[in-house]
């Protein structure tokens, strides 16, 4: 305990780190306060329909990501997910559209242009999702729309127009907060905003599960304690999954791609089993929100609700199979973006590094690419399995809100973001020759390791 207190004192002794932490805190606080600001023209006391809708299903997950803002009819009801969706589209276009590929090769100037395109696309996506959200809000809570003159005019035009502007502006403000946290604070701002919304929902879910277990059909306090123990075990496994493997022994890598002659001291290839971290989960989840967005436009059409219903129920097999498949695909996609085998091979060659038995240059790049393809597969399947654990937890009579923390997007994002943020704090401490947060003095995050062999 004394060591931990000293470490926290060291954190606040570093002026730069102290400034970054305070900036991050105040910006996250501004976001949390904004989730309690209700849309103009909406009575917050008449949102029972949205509250019931957010109890479970895909809307419950959206509400979790938004930190409860969805159920409260807040100006931040859409959260940061429209920006995530826009980022996915732009990254996919970077692989298929030559003009975007050229922008990627233009360095910092190209990156700024891509970011600008992402912002414009975020505005379009947010505007569309805002209309769907408002139609759903009016359908579920018709009494919540405050009319001052003609109800039809207010609800059908002025209310919709003003609310779309407010929701779109608010999402852009949240995106700006995330970018400022990344630039001036500590950690990845967008990920931290998602994480803080998830954490805000945890106490409520825990209390509801506790009350449910103490009820007549809950199973009692012992079952609740067993659930907490299982949750702790899942968290430990998730930490190992997110951290992945820092370095892979060359001998093991050669067994992956085929036996070759090898001799000499043990050496390592700087690859990770889970190089993509939690980004595949975030990308896949953003796509899984599309059916619910479409369904919001047609609340009175039973056929549309039936078709989309299978993709809206997170506990159904259609949703989980689709979700798991998307995670596996995005794991390979994001790994291909973050781990450039040709770049690693070139840097190894420039620095005099090599893999014994493998020729430098293209042969080394092919070797690394083959290893990465093979070790990514079990990591992708494990990631997909953890992502669908909440549906398995619900089978054992666990409340749907609390079940979201038994793996799934919520837990993976929490663990991944916390590890990344702690790693940045750790790097500041180690750079000033202070002891780190862990006894080992090193916290593994999601960054790819160095390129030396």
For the stretch 369-427, pLDDT in tens is 787 778 788 878 888 888 888 888 777 778 777 777 776 677 777 887 888 888 888 77
Domains contained in the chain, CATH given: 35-185 (no CATH), 202-453 (1.10.3370.10)
- Cα–Cα distance, 328 to 384 (Å, whole number): 7
- In this predicted structure, the answer to whether residue 342 has a pLDDT above a threshold of 50 is yes
- Cα–Cα distance, 266 to 300 (Å, whole number): 65
Kindly report the pTM of this predicted structure: 0.73
pLDDT at position 449 is: 34
Q: If you compute the radius of gyration of the chain from its CA atoms, what whole number of angstroms results?
A: 24
Find the mean pLDDT for residues 229-255.
65
Contact indicator for 34, 75 with CB cutoff of 8 Å: yes
pLDDT at position 188 is: 84
Find the mean pLDDT for residues 290-305.
66
Q: Which of 213, 270, 184 is CA-nearest to residue 450?
A: 270
Range from 251-255, 291-295, 327-331 carrying the lowest mean pLDDT = 251-255
| Residues whose CB falls within 8 Å of the CB of residue 358, separated by 6 or more in sequence, listed in order | 260, 364, 367
Classify strands 248-249 and 268-269 as parallel, antiparallel or unpaired: antiparallel
Find the mean pLDDT for residues 159-167.
87
Distances (CA, A) of 451 to 247, 329, 332, 346, 368: 10, 26, 20, 10, 11
Q: What is the pLDDT of residues 181-208, one digit of tens each?
A: 988 888 888 888 888 888 888 888 888 8
* Token pair 């790994």 in the structure block, residue: 335
For 166, other C-beta atoms within 10 Å of its C-beta total: 17
- Cα–Cα distance, 85 to 248 (Å, whole number): 33
Contact indicator for 370, 253 with CB cutoff of 8 Å: no
Predicted confidence band of residue 365 (pLDDT cuts 50, 70, 90): confident
- Cα–Cα distance, 222 to 75 (Å, whole number): 41
Predicted confidence band of residue 147 (pLDDT cuts 50, 70, 90): low
pLDDT at position 134 is: 85
Contact indicator for 20, 192 with CB cutoff of 8 Å: no
| Residues whose CB falls within 8 Å of the CB of residue 68, separated by 6 or more in sequence, listed in order | 35, 54, 74, 197, 200, 201, 204
Q: What is the pLDDT of residues 248-282, one digit of tens each?
A: 554 445 444 444 433 444 455 556 666 766 778 77
- In this predicted structure, the answer to whether residue 4 has a pLDDT above a threshold of 70 is no
pLDDT at position 323 is: 86
pLDDT at position 165 is: 92
Angle between helices 15-34 and 2-13 (to 10 degrees): 90
Contact indicator for 66, 78 with CB cutoff of 8 Å: yes
- In this predicted structure, the answer to whether residue 73 has a pLDDT above a threshold of 80 is yes
Please calculate the CA angle 432-435-439 and round it to the nearest 5 degrees.
150
Q: What is the pLDDT of residues 103-116, one digit of tens each?
A: 877 777 888 888 88
Contact indicator for 77, 168 with CB cutoff of 8 Å: no
pLDDT at position 152 is: 52
Average pLDDT across the chain, whole number: 76
Find the mean pLDDT for residues 87-96.
80
Predicted confidence band of residue 123 (pLDDT cuts 50, 70, 90): very high
Angle between helices 57-65 and 189-213 (to 10 degrees): 130
- In this predicted structure, the answer to whether residue 343 has a pLDDT above a threshold of 80 is no
pLDDT at position 440 is: 46
pLDDT at position 431 is: 75
For 233, other C-beta atoms within 10 Å of its C-beta total: 10
Highest mean pLDDT among 26-40, 86-100, 132-146: 26-40
In angstroms, how far is CA 58 from the centroid of its own chain? 16
- Cα–Cα distance, 355 to 367 (Å, whole number): 9
Highest mean pLDDT among 45-49, 140-144, 171-175: 171-175
What is the greatest pairwise CA distance in the chain?
85
| Residues whose CB falls within 8 Å of the CB of residue 23, separated by 6 or more in sequence, listed in order | 180, 181, 184, 185
Q: What is the pLDDT of residues 426-444, one digit of tens each?
A: 777 777 665 555 554 445 5
Q: What is the pLDDT of residues 411-423, one digit of tens each?
A: 777 887 888 888 8
Q: What is the pLDDT of residues 49-60, one digit of tens each?
A: 666 666 666 677
pLDDT at position 433 is: 61
- Cα–Cα distance, 385 to 226 (Å, whole number): 21
* Token pair 């953890």 in the structure block, residue: 386
């Amino acid at each position: 305990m004394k060591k931990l207190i000293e470490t926290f004192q060291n954190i606040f002794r570093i002026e730069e780190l102290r400034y970054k932490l305070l900036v991050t805190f105040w910006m996250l606080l501004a976001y949390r306060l904004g989730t309690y600001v209700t849309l103009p023209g909406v009575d917050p006391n008449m949102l029972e329909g949205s509250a019931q809708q957010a109890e479970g299903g895909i809307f419950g997950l959206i509400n979790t990501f938004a930190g409860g803002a969805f159920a409260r009819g807040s100006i931040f009801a859409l959260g940061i997910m429209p920006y995530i969706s826009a980022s996915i589209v732009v990254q996919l276009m970077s692989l298929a559209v030559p003009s975007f590929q050229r922008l990627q090769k233009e360095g910092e100037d190209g990156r700024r242009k891509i970011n600008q395109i992402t912002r414009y696309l975020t505005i379009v996506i947010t505007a569309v999702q805002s209309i769907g959200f408002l139609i759903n809000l009016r359908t579920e809570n018709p009494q919540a729309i405050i009319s001052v003159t003609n109800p039809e005019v207010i609800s059908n035009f002025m209310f919709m127009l003003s609310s779309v502007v407010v929701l779109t502006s608010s999402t852009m403000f949240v995106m700006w907060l995330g970018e400022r946290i990344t630039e001036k604070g500590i950690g990845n701002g967008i990920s931290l905003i998602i994480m803080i919304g998830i954490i805000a929902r945890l106490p409520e879910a825990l209390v509801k599960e506790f009350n449910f277990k103490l009820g007549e059909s809950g199973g009692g306090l012992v079952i609740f304690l067993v659930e907490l123990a299982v949750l702790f075990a899942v968290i430990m496994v998730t930490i190992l999954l997110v951290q992945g493997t820092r370095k892979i022994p060359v001998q093991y890598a050669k067994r992956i791609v085929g036996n070759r002659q090898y001799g000499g001291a043990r050496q390592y290839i700087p690859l990770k089993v889970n190089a993509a971290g939690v980004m595949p989960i975030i990308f896949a989840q953003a796509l899984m929100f599309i059916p619910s967005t479409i369904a919001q436009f047609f609340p009175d059409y039973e056929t549309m609700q039936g078709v989309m219903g299978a993709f809206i129920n997170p506990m159904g097999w259609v949703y989980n199979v689709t979700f798991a498949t998307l995670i596996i695909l995005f794991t390979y996609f994001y790994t291909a973006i973050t781990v450039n085998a040709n770049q690693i091979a070139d840097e190894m060659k420039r620095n005099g590094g090599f893999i014994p038995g493998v020729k430098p240059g293209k042969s080394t790049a092919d070797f690394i690419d083959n290893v990465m393809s093979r070790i990514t597969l079990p990591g992708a399947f494990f990631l997909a399995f953890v992502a669908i654990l909440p549906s398995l937890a619900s089978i054992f009579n666990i409340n749907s809100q609390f079940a979201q923390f038994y793996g799934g997007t919520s837990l993976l994002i929490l663990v991944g973001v916390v590890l990344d943020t702690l790693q940045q704090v750790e790097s500041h401490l180690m750079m000033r020759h202070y002891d780190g947060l862990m006894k080992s003095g090193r916290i593994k995050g999601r960054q790819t390791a160095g390129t030396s062999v």
